[in-house]
Amino acid sequence: MDADGQEGQRVLIRAAPPHDGEQVRNISTASGRDSWNPSVLVVAPGRLVVVAEVAGELVGAAKTHFHGRPDGDVPAGRYLGGVMVTPAHRRQGVAFALTQARLEWIYSYTDCAYYFANEHNTASIRLHEQFCFHPLGSFAEIHGVTADNGRSKLILFKASRG
């Protein structure tokens, strides 16, 4: 999938094969994020991992998750997972393109998508508002994930194909 970045750069979104592992680790390091387990890049049912290329360079990565069972009041379903973009390519449409690709994939299976974010992650919340995500509630933990080692809440969001 090709998309135009905000500065007119072509952003190529494609599935991430396992051999992208080192470049994805480089993106996480540049972004100040924890590295993903290499098994994330192994093709698996119910999961999509995509990367963004600009001028042949990997500049972003994003994933989805399928949670087959509810977690208390948190529903089962297809979730957008982490999205990472190198600092030099932020606010240029890369995260938007990665999110759009993942949502299109999720909507090929179901009419709704979920994601959750740290209550303080305003960049993520603003990004997902563009895709009509609305909050369902806040939680100390969602599917085994906490925010800031339990010091912050996670906000759960839902969007429906519209």
Q: List CB contacts of 72: < 8 A, sequence separation 6 or more.
A: 139
- As a whole-number percent, the residues of the chain with pLDDT over 70 amount to 95
Q: Within the chain, how many helices (H) and strands (E) appear?
A: 3, 8
Which residues share a beta bridge with 147? 152
DSSP-derived secondary structure letter, 39: G
**Mean pLDDT over residues 86-107, rounded?**
96
Q: Are 117 and 124 in contact (CB under 8 A)?
A: yes
- As a whole-number percent, the residues of the chain with pLDDT over 90 amount to 77
Is it the case that residue 161 has pLDDT exceeding 80?
Answer: yes
Q: Which of the four pLDDT bands, split at 50, 70 and 90, describes residue 3?
A: low
What's the mean pLDDT when you consider all of the chain? Answer: 91
Q: Are 50 and 101 in contact (CB under 8 A)?
A: yes
pLDDT, tens digit, 9 for 90 and up, residues 4-62: 544 567 899 999 999 999 999 999 999 888 888 878 888 888 899 999 999 999 999 99
The pLDDT assigned to 132 comes to: 97
> pTM for the full model?
0.91
DSSP-derived secondary structure letter, 111: S
- Strand 57-67 and strand 134-139: the pairing is unpaired
Domains and CATH numbers, the chain: 2-160 (3.40.630.30)
**Mean pLDDT over residues 70-95, rounded?**
95
